[in-house]
Structure 1
């Protein structure tokens, strides 16, 4: 009984004292007249009980079992009080018939005595026969009492026969009955129902129940993201959450008829240590869920970013160097989720073995045994590799690495008992094993395996061997980064990146990454690249630049792994510069020769370039779903091609004049019969325009410009889906004037679009030609007619002063409002070395509605000319880069001037006002 686990029960609720008060009221005033006062008494008892439970949780914030058992105990006592009052005073019967019997069961989480503060009260009323008037009256009266107490009640009322019939047909009802618990009423009826359930429903259906439960679990995981390392996990239904632990208990109970989770040890499904882990993980998750319910005042199961801070504080986590309190809290959460995953794997494999053993005894092949083969001393049977004895790893701890390498090389699973042994014996991995050349050679073979290194490294991580053998990896185990950009913990991100690299090498991602699929077979050392992917984030959470610290780790680890001096230098450089290519591609103007020159100066060789390209691709893609897109593919591909040409030839193949001539020739060919516009209109634009834009964009621009000027249009807007870049190209032609850029940006924002790239040009006759690439808030292009029309109208309205931009923009909420859970201090940097012609201004700030419009306006008010803008988002953080000059076309170098620009940009980036006056034009 749960009451045995609850200390000092009467401080939560004193049922005897309350029963006496209710009895006295009913005797004095009668049940009907006393009802309001009885409800008031019970309401106060509930409030007091909940307050006491909350106080206990605050005092012992990690004791989840105590909290949920206390909640269940409180509701039990209230239901018992109501039941006794109803049958004694509301519907008393002197001599009840055989049909006038009633038992009340707790089901669901309440049945398990795992009731979070705002969980539903799930109860089942069981009667012997249908339509017994007294039973119906009692049930109705009890429900009205519960509703008057503002309890959210999930209830059913059935006969024993109906209950069993429905349990046979419905998995949900069968599961509810499986974990039902007697609350009050006729115990004999409860026991009759239980006995018949086991004999008439469970018997013979064990295999079916297992299959259905696993199918249900897999569907739930898929719905929740199919990873236990998502950064906003669902505590209840997510992978590695409470429901996974409950599923183990349901399966064990159904097959072995255990009454408590501890009995899973007695039937051999869990060891005693594993059961202790089961209880620790369950208690922690229950505590977290209870805190979430108390903070939100509702049944909340998703551990969102804003809740993570509050729960971490309530559970007394503190900041440490390199790790915030919330990151430490979430790391501990993910360690528990990881343990749940490990328990689940071993448990289900045991169940599978049990059923396989039963089949072998009773099927056609009864009595026939397949002889296991031997692989380097290991037993291999049924696609699984197993240690031949319990002391196998103790005799030679290097085998703890060897078994995983063999599993990867031969595409084998590891037997659950052997996984248990590996987990238990992982403590044997000490310095002598880490320094063993054979162990390191085996590890690198596994890391760069040809079959499925991702899967086997994940097993190795689950068993605790990975973190023991590579302690630096153990430090980032289950470590999250508190932001909206990274979807997974550092270890999960790293293992996924290794898996993606393996898939690229095998040609499985050729459609998405054709260039990378070719490049990976041209690199000099594939093992160096795999090691670089392993180490690229190894130093996160250490309180410094993880790239610099990671390069130091690489210099220490690579020789240990058996890599040569050349390979070690390559890995260390890749780790140091693993963000260089993505930052350059997304934040810099790739048409500016200085951008390519600076990038090539750092890269220095084609070998480094190929490796960096591959590392960049898998790093971005492993961040999470949707992070890699056609726009990033295009940018990184352009940077690679430009850098490759520069490195291969030692110079840019063509000079500025030759490049412009070549582009004009290609554009003329593309335009066919309209090719005359190249000479007629193209001369309106300088070389900078021809170098900056792609040939297909130039062709469209020239035709649009020619038509607009021929008609005498003062404004021309063209919007077209640009498939090559996964965005919509917006080209605006208008008389150039100050503030044009920020007004166009505001119009685009009002249409619900995000600008990802912008290029600003002015013709020799004073007309602006601005090209924008835009996407919707989910990273998709605008392509529907209605979307295009809305975009064009919004820009026209903004430029025609038909709307007040700032108030309208302030009313438009940021689509990803979760960004409000983060503090991002605005930062402005100036770089006068990144370009020969422009000052490069980078603004980092928390993403919010119309940020680009505000920044562009600040630049306008600072009397700056914007040549191009490059927009990058990292979850809640925006990084916007502008190539600017002053009004004379010169770089901005004066310190006072830069300080004034910085002040304006910081104000724009942090301004929270919802409206401000639009300046007169």
Structure 2
């Protein structure tokens, strides 16, 4: 395989293949380093891609000359992306050797030497050796056909080029229409494959929706259909507007710059713009943080906008290609202004909209009235951003966190989609009472307007809720809404986070919390609208955020507030009356299950009075019946399903040090996340612990019986031996680290301390917190667990071991213990 050959890449005689490959590798590395230095926000990306392809061309031609010289009957072509002359820093290099069977056999050893030499030179070569007839046969696979379509000669005479062109001509394989249909189907399937939410946060620049592959697909279609290798040539054919062609060229360069930089910062052929690389790439592009946006958010907004433009224009062009093959369809009139062309909604006027923006409302009204419409026709699309300039400003805007899986504009559309689900009249198991509330809305369109404007002011600086309310008020006034309707929409936008915050961060079993929220509502109508907006908003943030616990929480707050509004806000809170009412409602449920009053009274006497204020009657009835046969000093564990995959865990036990930590650790070991915990002290030193949990890991069985057995076994032994399983944090969480924030307050009655903890989420977090509390000999009475993507915001009611609020020294001791356990950058590494 080694031996003398022609002049090598350095211009001196090579004594061996190894020496030649080492020199070629060094010179390619030097060329790559020069290109990396030239890379930046103003770099001509087309020039960089062409220069890298040229450097590789030179090495391959010289390797060919060294191994094969001017061997007759052989030709070398670059195919695939390399064939286009676009070569990214870490991209594969695809080659085709065109030769008849006899030539292939005669030069088999030399070809093997050539490919080995290319690899030794550092080129990741993928190759095929085929005759023209074999090319025709292989091209029956559209992937092979696509690669051959852009073949570029490296060492090939005119006859070889003509032979390859003939082998893949439309007369032999893939006529234009069939090729178009196959590539369109492939594009749609690829979009579905990459439509997962993780791809919104860490998009694939090459293959994701709106990525470079979409642009390549349009180019392949144009090349096969019209024989043009540049989309600008499609302009002359009348299928693409000059501004559209310019936009595609601009976004191709923007996406190409991102992909080139991603290869550089990753050091490998990475196509997904993951969290590992986003900040590094933003820095390479010269972006900086400012008061309104992080550098990484600016970069990602640029990507999402590019992808959206590519998708929008490609959708139009696909329609036009379809009309080219099948003929432009006659419009089927729907009304005087609009009709259907191949199922797409088209304006009748050639230069629509001709008069004013009210025609846009007519467009959407027609679309809403005809659910069979496939979408907007290519000559009718792209109006929302013009109609609402503020909406255009949040197009593609992302937030660098794990809570918001969509860009602001995508999230807004998801919110409106959820509202459309409420309007369908069909119960949705995700929302337990939304279908009951929706019919009560006086004007449902006001809710849609609130959904449209609720996040429209993000990224401007200041409170986006207040700024959005101003936008909403101006829009409503300009469109002639009454002052009362305008006020309701603006109020909903301004308050759209209030119900979520109240439900997730406050104790909604506390009548005073509900009273304050009811005072803010003021009336039933506002409550109805805000409840539905809150459900749609949270569920539209990410498919993983909404769950049965949040549904139950919001429904409980809604129902409690509705009741308080009905009874009157002026009525003083009568705690004793509330407890007595809960007792009677609970008694009725237990009596209906076959228990007599004497038994019920005996069990009520063993339960804490606070339980009748904090729990719903059906919870209290369940607990009462569970404890009928429990003797003093015994431990009773019960688990039941309450909604969807949500489980309620009840533990009745003599109070013991470490009990709360042991329960939390056991739940964590079995893959459950705690969303709410309530710890009540009963008579005779007993505890009534209630947890609402959801499966948080794939290994959680979701079976109440299994979890009940696991808890009973864990609590039957030494509590000190119960430990949470140590698990590594998911990769994404490692990129959102920040120091924990620990704050203390006192409950309104002065009996307990409030611990507020904000820190990065990770597996086993609550178990570590429980151990920290135990280490400081503190008692937990209530816990509210809220997770927003990578951010955990937990609230605990705690006391010392004598049931007193924490003094200053105890607070500082707990703060130090929490930081030691939870902050990996603290002096004591996180344990």
Could you say whether these structures have the same fold, taking a TM-score greater than 0.5 normalized by the shorter chain as the test? yes
Kindly tell me: are residues 397 and 770 of structure 1, through their superposed partners in 2, closer, same or farther at Cα, counting changes over 3 Å?
closer
SS of 1:842's equivalent in the other structure is strand
SS of 1:672's equivalent in the other structure is coil
Q: How does 1:167-186 map to 2 (within 5 A)?
A: 167-168=139-140, 170-186=141-157
Kindly tell me: are residues 127 and 233 of structure 1, through their superposed partners in 2, closer, same or farther at Cα, counting changes over 3 Å?
same
Q: Does 1:21 align with 2:11?
A: yes
Q: Which residue of 2 aligns with 1:82?
A: 63
Q: CA deviation at 1:416?
A: 4.3
Q: Which moved more, 1:780-789 or 1:131-140?
A: 780-789
Kindly tell me: are residues 788 and 44 of structure 1, through their superposed partners in 2, closer, same or farther at Cα, counting changes over 3 Å?
same
Q: CA deviation at 1:219?
A: 1.5
Q: Which residue of 2 aligns with 1:267?
A: 237
Q: Which residue of 2 aligns with 1:852?
A: 766
Q: CA deviation at 1:82?
A: 0.6
Q: Deviations over 1:166-186 (max 9, x none)?
A: 212x12111111222222244
Q: Deviations over 1:842-887 (max 9, x none)?
A: 2221112322233334444555432111211111001111123455
Q: Does 1:690 align with 2:612?
A: yes
Question: Does structure 2 retain, via aligned residues, the 8 Å contact 1:229–1:478?
Answer: no
Q: Which residue of 2 aligns with 1:599?
A: 517
Question: Does structure 2 retain, via aligned residues, the 8 Å contact 1:160–1:193?
Answer: yes
Q: Which residue of 2 aligns with 1:449?
A: none
Question: Does structure 2 retain, via aligned residues, the 8 Å contact 1:213–1:247?
Answer: yes
Q: CA deviation at 1:672?
A: 3.3
Which structure 1 segments of 5+ residues have no match?
1-14, 361-369, 420-458
Counterparts of 1:118 and 1:801 in 2: how far apart (Å)?
Answer: 53
Q: Deviations over 1:882-910 (max 9, x none)?
A: 12345554556x67766665555555542
Q: CA deviation at 1:231?
A: 2.4
Counterparts of 1:853 and 1:255 in 2: how far apart (Å)?
Answer: 62
Q: Which residue of 1 aligns with 2:690?
A: 771
Kindly tell me: are residues 657 and 627 of structure 1, through their superposed partners in 2, closer, same or farther at Cα, counting changes over 3 Å?
closer
Q: Does 1:236 align with 2:236?
A: no
Kindly tell me: are residues 400 and 548 of structure 1, through their superposed partners in 2, closer, same or farther at Cα, counting changes over 3 Å?
closer
Kindly tell me: are residues 188 and 666 of structure 1, through their superposed partners in 2, closer, same or farther at Cα, counting changes over 3 Å?
farther
Q: Deviations over 1:571-616 (max 9, x none)?
A: 2221222112122222222222222112112111100100011101
Q: Which residue of 1 aligns with 2:223?
A: 253
Q: Which residue of 2 aligns with 1:138?
A: 110
SS of 2:130's equivalent in the other structure is strand
Kindly tell me: are residues 900 and 608 of structure 1, through their superposed partners in 2, closer, same or farther at Cα, counting changes over 3 Å?
farther
Q: Deviations over 1:342-370 (max 9, x none)?
A: 11111011012112318x8xxxxxxxxx6
From 290, 294, 299, the equivalent of 1:320 is 290
Q: Does 1:485 align with 2:466?
A: no
Q: Does 1:196 align with 2:130?
A: no
Q: Which residue of 2 aligns with 1:812?
A: 727
Counterparts of 1:693 and 1:225 in 2: how far apart (Å)?
Answer: 41
Which structure 2 segments of 5+ residues have no match?
none
Q: Does 1:343 align with 2:313?
A: yes
Question: Does structure 1 retain, via aligned residues, the 8 Å contact 2:386–2:392?
Answer: yes
From 850, 857, 865, the equivalent of 2:779 is 865
Counterparts of 2:106 and 2:813 in 1: how far apart (Å)?
Answer: 83
Question: Does structure 2 retain, via aligned residues, the 8 Å contact 1:761–1:769?
Answer: yes
Counterparts of 1:399 and 1:656 in 2: how far apart (Å)?
Answer: 56
SS of 1:119's equivalent in the other structure is coil
Q: Does 1:119 align with 2:91?
A: yes
Counterparts of 1:497 and 1:55 in 2: how far apart (Å)?
Answer: 44
SS of 1:479's equivalent in the other structure is coil
Counterparts of 2:827 and 2:323 in 1: how far apart (Å)?
Answer: 64
Give the TM-score, by structure 2 length: 0.90
From 508, 519, 542, the equivalent of 1:590 is 508
Question: Does structure 1 retain, via aligned residues, the 8 Å contact 2:74–2:103?
Answer: no
SS of 1:265's equivalent in the other structure is helix
Q: Does 1:655 align with 2:627?
A: no
Q: How does 1:603-642 map to 2 (within 5 A)?
A: 603-642=521-560
Give the TM-score, by structure 1 length: 0.82
Question: Does structure 1 retain, via aligned residues, the 8 Å contact 2:820–2:827?
Answer: no
Q: Which moved more, 1:70-79 or 1:695-704?
A: 695-704
Q: Deviations over 1:442-486 (max 9, x none)?
A: xxxxxxxxxxxxxxxxx5xxx2x3333323222212110111011
Kindly tell me: are residues 65 and 670 of structure 1, through their superposed partners in 2, closer, same or farther at Cα, counting changes over 3 Å?
farther
Q: CA deviation at 1:377?
A: 4.9
Counterparts of 1:333 and 1:493 in 2: how far apart (Å)?
Answer: 17
Q: Which residue of 2 aligns with 1:735?
A: 654
Question: Does structure 1 retain, via aligned residues, the 8 Å contact 2:455–2:465?
Answer: yes
Q: Does 1:573 align with 2:491?
A: yes
Q: Which has the higher helix share?
A: 1
SS of 2:797's equivalent in the other structure is strand
From 129, 136, 141, the equivalent of 1:157 is 129
Question: Does structure 1 retain, via aligned residues, the 8 Å contact 2:430–2:547?
Answer: no
Q: CA deviation at 1:623?
A: 0.8
Q: Which residue of 2 aligns with 1:66?
A: 47
Counterparts of 1:395 and 1:514 in 2: how far apart (Å)?
Answer: 45
Q: Which residue of 2 aligns with 1:841?
A: 755
Counterparts of 1:227 and 1:905 in 2: how far apart (Å)?
Answer: 33
Q: CA deviation at 1:761?
A: 2.4
Q: Which moved more, 1:783-792 or 1:548-557?
A: 783-792
Question: Does structure 1 retain, via aligned residues, the 8 Å contact 2:80–2:150?
Answer: yes
Counterparts of 2:805 and 2:520 in 1: how far apart (Å)?
Answer: 24
Q: Which residue of 2 aligns with 1:454?
A: none
Kindly tell me: are residues 556 and 375 of structure 1, through their superposed partners in 2, closer, same or farther at Cα, counting changes over 3 Å?
same
Q: Which residue of 2 aligns with 1:51?
A: 33
SS of 1:631's equivalent in the other structure is helix
Kindly tell me: are residues 868 and 671 of structure 1, through their superposed partners in 2, closer, same or farther at Cα, counting changes over 3 Å?
farther
Q: CA deviation at 1:371?
A: 7.4
Q: CA deviation at 1:818?
A: 0.9
Question: Does structure 1 retain, via aligned residues, the 8 Å contact 2:647–2:704?
Answer: no
Counterparts of 1:581 and 1:20 in 2: how far apart (Å)?
Answer: 71
Q: Which moved more, 1:730-739 or 1:790-799?
A: 790-799
Kindly tell me: are residues 52 and 356 of structure 1, through their superposed partners in 2, closer, same or farther at Cα, counting changes over 3 Å?
same
Count of aligned pairs: 822
SS of 2:579's equivalent in the other structure is helix
Q: Which moved more, 1:254-263 or 1:62-71?
A: 62-71
Q: Which residue of 2 aligns with 1:665?
A: 587
Q: How does 1:756-905 map to 2 (within 5 A)?
A: 756-778=675-697, 782-784=701-703, 788=707, 791-792=710-711, 795-796=714-715, 799-802=718-721, 805=723, 811-814=726-729, 816-830=730-744, 832=746, 838-860=752-774, 864-889=778-803, 905=818
SS of 2:46's equivalent in the other structure is helix
Counterparts of 2:208 and 2:597 in 1: how far apart (Å)?
Answer: 59
Q: Which residue of 1 aligns with 2:101?
A: 129
Question: Does structure 1 retain, via aligned residues, the 8 Å contact 2:76–2:97?
Answer: yes
Q: Which residue of 1 aligns with 2:445?
A: 527
Question: Does structure 2 retain, via aligned residues, the 8 Å contact 1:586–1:635?
Answer: yes
Q: CA deviation at 1:746?
A: 2.7
